[in-house]
């Protein structure tokens, strides 16, 4: 669920869309195992069967294994005359499943939410990205961009605060020596209202100066966001797009 929230980042979503476009744009086919008539007939039957399914959605759900380490698809069967065929292949939330101590896939049920129950693998298609015995969950590309996204969000937050604080001139109120604390607080309140209204009334002997603090510091946040976007692109796409390099 944490990794899914990362995809709400506009740059992450852009990289995922770009990767999926390249993946889904590739042609696919089913070829016979041999040149025999039986294998050719079986390949034609399988091609016709899969062509009747929503392969764009199915391939996209398979591709989720790259981002989350693994993806689970349920195979739904139906009877077509004398044959049993796929009615649909539907992706299921990966967090509904886990691997036990023997690396077997189990389904987390309400009655058994911790250890889960064994899965009938004939009804499940398990897709994993760079999985191993040591790590049956596979490698998650979204795990590699967790901190860049977090630093980027923090950079935006401080950037907005910086813009609010230094986007305009800073008002400096001057009062004669010996002015009471109450008078100083009254002047501070007046300056606070002045930021919004640009109108104020001050007593003789008081002064208000506008100080231009400069905006050079905002470039630090700009560079931070750019570096984070570059790291996100390299993790998901394997390279940094030319548009980012030129910017």
DSSP 155-188: HHHHHHHHHHHHSSPEEEEE--TT--HHHHHHHH
pLDDT tens digits along 16-52: 999 999 999 999 899 999 999 999 999 999 999 999 9
Closest CA to 148 of 213, 230, 67, 218: 230
Strands (E), the chain: 70-80, 83-92, 97-99, 105-107, 117-118, 124-128, 170-174, 207-211
How many alpha carbons fall within 13 Å on the CB side of residue 138?
21
Least confident residue range of 7-11, 68-72, 213-217: 213-217
pLDDT tens digits along 119-142: 999 999 999 999 999 999 999 999
Q: What are phi and psi of 105, to 5 degrees?
A: -75, 130
Output the pLDDT for position 98.
Answer: 95
Output the pLDDT for position 63.
Answer: 93
Query: Both tokens of residue 93?
Result: 């939330």
pLDDT tens digits along 164-175: 666 666 677 787
More confident residue, 11 or 211: 11
Cα separation, 1 vs 31, in Å, equals: 38
Output the pLDDT for position 197.
Answer: 62
Q: How far is CA 108 from CA 58, 91, 113, in A?
A: 23, 16, 5
Largest pairwise CA distance in the chain: 105
Average pLDDT score over the chain = 86
Cα separation, 191 vs 227, in Å, equals: 38
pLDDT tens digits along 179-224: 888 888 888 887 777 766 655 566 666 776 766 555 555 677 788 8
């Amino acid at each position: 669920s944490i990794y899914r929230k990362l995809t709400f980042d506009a740059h992450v979503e852009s990289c995922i869309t770009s990767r999926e476009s390249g993946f889904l744009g590739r042609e696919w086919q089913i070829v016979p195992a041999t040149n025999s008539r039986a294998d050719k007939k079986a390949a034609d039957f399988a091609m016709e069967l899969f062509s009747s399914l929503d392969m764009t959605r199915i391939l996209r759900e398979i591709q989720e294994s790259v981002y989350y380490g693994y993806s689970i698809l349920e195979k739904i069967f139906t009877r077509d005359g004398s044959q049993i065929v796929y009615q649909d292949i539907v992706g299921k939330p990966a967090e509904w499943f886990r691997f036990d101590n023997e690396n077997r896939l189990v389904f987390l049920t309400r009655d058994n939410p911790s250890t889960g129950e064994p899965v009938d693998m004939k009804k499940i298609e398990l897709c994993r990205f760079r999985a191993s015995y040591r790590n049956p969950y596979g490698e998650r590309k979204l795990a590699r961009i967790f901190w860049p996204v977090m630093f980027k969000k923090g950079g935006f937050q401080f950037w907005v605060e910086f813009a609010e604080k230094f986007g305009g001139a800073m008002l400096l109120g001057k009062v004669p020596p010996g002015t009471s604390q109450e008078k100083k607080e009254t002047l501070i309140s007046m300056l606070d209202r002045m930021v919004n209204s640009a109108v104020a009334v001050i007593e003789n002997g008081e002064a208000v100066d506008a100080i231009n603090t400069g905006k050079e510091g905002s470039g630090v946040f700009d560079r931070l966001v750019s570096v984070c976007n570059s790291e996100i692109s390299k993790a998901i796409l394997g390279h940094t797009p030319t548009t980012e390099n030129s910017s």
